[in-house]
Chain A
């Protein structure tokens, strides 16, 4: 028989059912013990069998894509609900010190169902509104499950509960870093990209400089910013008044900004270069001023490329902003590196999971926007 995607999903989820669903530790430092779904819940074996049955069915019978999408969504939600229930019933037995973390089985199930969702959506090719709808549905369901308290016994959520204020603060900081640097990069990169489009001889040097900037490892770039900006703030009092400083979030912001420049500049350039010569000359010939040509013809035509740059930069910066945690710049990275230092993996998860979710969300939303813009064009 030929291997089909459905079979792969079934194997992943099946493996997930067979591996431990939660990892149980009597306390924070004790060694963990994996607990399977059928051991964790009274109804566990029944649920596992039912899911297995559905999976086998999905391998034999070629389900319609719509149905597969629904099944995948239900599976993702179901995995979370089952995880929460298992954790709750286990914690009742074990008391308050016990730590319950999602284990390999849970992650595999989640992976299997998300792949099923991705496959279903890719195959069905739903309309744009339908895709927004699916995204909205996933978001609402996700937040609903988190808000319902169902997962409160999971260790990451317990870390969250004890650090709610810090979490919200770092979340805000993370967003400020990612969007702030994006804004700066657009502010500088769009004119720069347009400038080197018009002044051909500057292209080589500018792009070479930005390329070299890109090769500096993020860790080093962040690190260099600290003394550099401290020195700048010390030697130029005016700069200090503008908020330039060698500590806090500012160095991280500048480092992220520098990384974002290349994608913005090069995409601006390549977007403008796709405008046909005849179109540009027609605009000039009809009597548009330089700025009218730019604003009414060149930029609208380069827009898809500009939004693509937005996607690259935003996704990249949401991820890279984690490094800020290492140099005291705040953001989710704070939890990640604290966690790595203390070998507290729950804390690491508290930093990484929202980062991944944010990056995914940004990527998907901007992909949808790109499709909106690309519509109705040749």
Chain B
């Protein structure tokens, strides 16, 4: 289990070196090419694609995180309770919408490029955050809230000092889910001309160059594992702070 602790660090290091000097890893991908096709994608620098991939995902996740949390809070306040049943069924139903379909439907409205990808990622990412915020804020032990009220905390203080800290682990796990899904879905954004790592994979598909497919997939996978790992750690910390884990 000791090795497990260094693995994420090693993966990050490998990724960094690979993105800075992709050509030094050409030997890894050479066996996947045929007819002397290039082993490393060069039309756009992998580093640039990675950065723009990550920025698109980050913008979408931060936006859907903020909106999802705020909506989750609003719907669980006394004045917003009316919307709770609706909110629950919308999240349940909304999550059955295939992300690819959401992306494709955004195109007629927004045209090609980054915009439809952002919108699709935002909309699709909203649901896990919102759902988990809702779960975190509604599944709280009644006696704790009762105690907080008994101590004379105002509703705002209760939210800030009691409800949100208790719900935080679940909220973070919603964000983690959103981030990991978005990271993968963003690759599909390249089918509508968004500058993401999907570009590498699609180039590979079009030219039957497996090396491209593999390196695009590899970079995204490592990113996903790292983000999953980082946010899981944050979740554990939050859970510990909320007294859920020893």
Residues of A at the B interface (CB closer than 8 Å) are 2-5, 8, 104, 115, 118-119, 121-123, 212, 215-221, 223-224, 226-227, 315, 318-320, 322-323, 326-327, 333, 336-337, 339-340, 345, 348-349, 351-352, 355-356, 359-360, 362-364, 367
Residues of A with C-beta under 8 A to B105: 348-349, 352
Query: What is the bound-complex CA distance between A147 and B210, given in angstroms?
Result: 45
Partner of A363, one of B96, B205, B208, B221: B96
A223 to B85, Cβ gap below 8 A? no
* Central interface residue in A219, A315, A323, A356, by most chain B CB within 10 Å: A219
Could you list some 11 contacts between A and B, CB below 8 A? A2-B82, A122-B89, A215-B221, A215-B228, A318-B98, A322-B98, A326-B202, A355-B98, A360-B96, A360-B97, A364-B96
A5 to B202, Cβ gap below 8 A? no
Query: What is the bound-complex CA distance between A252 and B45, given in angstroms?
Result: 29
B188 to A340, Cβ gap below 8 A? no
B96 to A333, Cβ gap below 8 A? no
In the assembled complex, the CB of B103 is this many whole angstroms from the nearest CB of chain A, namely 9
| Known contacts A5-B86, A322-B101, A359-B96; is-contact A215 B180 (Cβ 8 Å) | yes
Chain B, Cβ-Cβ closest to A321? B98
Query: What is the bound-complex CA distance between A224 and B82, given in angstroms?
Result: 48
Cβ contacts B187-218/A at 8 Å (1 or 0 each): 11001100001100110110010100110111
Residues of B with C-beta under 8 A to A224: 210, 213-214, 217
Tell whether B183 is near chain A: CB-to-CB under 8 Å: yes
In the assembled complex, the CB of B61 is this many whole angstroms from the nearest CB of chain A, namely 16
User: How many residue pairs between the two chains, A and B, have CB atoms under 8 Å in the bound complex?
Assistant: 149
Residues of B at the A interface (CB closer than 8 Å) are 32, 79, 82-83, 85-86, 88-90, 92-93, 95-101, 104-105, 107-109, 180, 183-184, 187-188, 191-192, 197-198, 201-202, 204-205, 208, 210, 213-214, 216-218, 220-221, 224-225, 228
Query: What is the bound-complex CA distance between A339 and B188, given in angstroms?
Result: 15
Residues of A with C-beta under 8 A to B90: 115, 118
Query: What is the bound-complex CA distance between A362 and B205, given in angstroms?
Result: 30
B107 to A345, Cβ gap below 8 A? yes
In the assembled complex, the CB of B176 is this many whole angstroms from the nearest CB of chain A, namely 12
Apart from A224-B217, A351-B104, A359-B97, 9 more pairs, CB < 8 Å: A216-B184, A219-B217, A226-B208, A326-B205, A340-B104, A349-B105, A352-B104, A356-B101, A360-B93
In the assembled complex, the CB of B167 is this many whole angstroms from the nearest CB of chain A, namely 22
Query: What is the bound-complex CA distance between A221 and B218, given in angstroms?
Result: 10
Residues of B with C-beta under 8 A to A352: 100-101, 104-105
Closest 5 CB pairs of A and B: A319-B98, A220-B217, A122-B85, A363-B96, A223-B213
| Known contacts A223-B205, A318-B98; is-contact A363 B93 (Cβ 8 Å) | yes
Query: What is the bound-complex CA distance between A294 and B209, given in angstroms?
Result: 47
Partner of A345, one of B108, B202, B220: B108
Query: What is the bound-complex CA distance between A327 and B32, given in angstroms?
Result: 18
Chain A, Cβ-Cβ closest to B206? A326
Partner of A119, one of B86, B95, B109, B224: B86
Partner of B97, one of A219, A327, A349, A356: A356
